[in-house]
Amino acid sequence: MSDSKTHFGFSTVNESEKAQKVAEVFHSVAQKYDVMNDLMSAGLHRAWKFFTIETSGAKTGDKILDIAGGTGDLSKAFSKKVGKTGQVWLTDINSSMLGVGRDRLLDAGYPLPVAQCDAEKLPFPDGYFDIVSVAFGLRNMTHKDAALKEMHRVLKPGGRLLVLEFSKVWAPLKPAYDIYSFKLLPFMGKLVANDADSYQYLAESIRMHPDQETLKQMMLDAGFGRADFHNMTGGVVALHKGTKF
């Protein structure tokens, strides 16, 4: 694959086209995003996020950046951890997702700072945050290596990156998982969100995302002094943690 090409699901597209194609997916699904998450994961996404928060080490007064924060689940939970002396930024590159997240947080009584920005070019100073999180967003980024370096840049020494993402499933589960991903997901997307194509892309994007060990090495290559991961639900998702030395 040349420098000017990248993948959009199983398709090969120009790099300049990918961001727009991903944006169209999330503009389309934004209003039904939480409902579909509950249906697709049978509610397990809440347990995955809870584990991420509870093992994050977030404490009172911390500054936290929630990248690709979508509808604000992690931002809200982190805000409870850091208290009034802390700071949580909700960011997303997609205006529709960000708008839904901002409104949900305001409705719940959490007027957090919000910014629409590209994870590959974060508008924050060096060494500002104690924790950076990205949940189910890294796989959609065109230049994952550049995004990881930016996340490293904005962390303080000793700061932690949390990447919660779909990953490589345990081999015995793969046949059933493939049937679920490529048959049931698009069907549910059509039924609930009137959008089968976006959920077909979801299934494909998961298969194109780096596996656990590859992503761990990418984090080390981005400058993190330590990186490890914890598989959940048979490797359907993995939580990667990187520490900046």
Residue list, annotated binding site for S-adenosyl-L-methionine = 71, 92, 118-119
SS3 (DSSP) at 241: strand
Separation between Cα atoms, residue 6 and residue 9, nearest integer Å: 10
Please spell the DSSP secondary structure of 96-113, one letter per residue: HHHHHHHHHHHHTT----
Burial (0-12, 13-18, 19+ Cβ within 10 Å), 49? buried
Tokens, residue 225: 């002094």
Separation between Cα atoms, residue 91 and residue 67, nearest integer Å: 5
Q: How far is CA 124 from the centre of its chain?
A: 19
Q: How many helices (H) and strands (E) does the chain have?
A: 10, 9
CB 160 within 8 A of CB 226: no
Burial (0-12, 13-18, 19+ Cβ within 10 Å), 163? buried
CB 82 within 8 A of CB 88: yes
* Beta pairing, strands 129-135 & 63-67: parallel
Binding residues: 71, 92, 118-119
DSSP-assigned beta bridge partners for residue 230: 239
Separation between Cα atoms, residue 88 and residue 3, nearest integer Å: 35
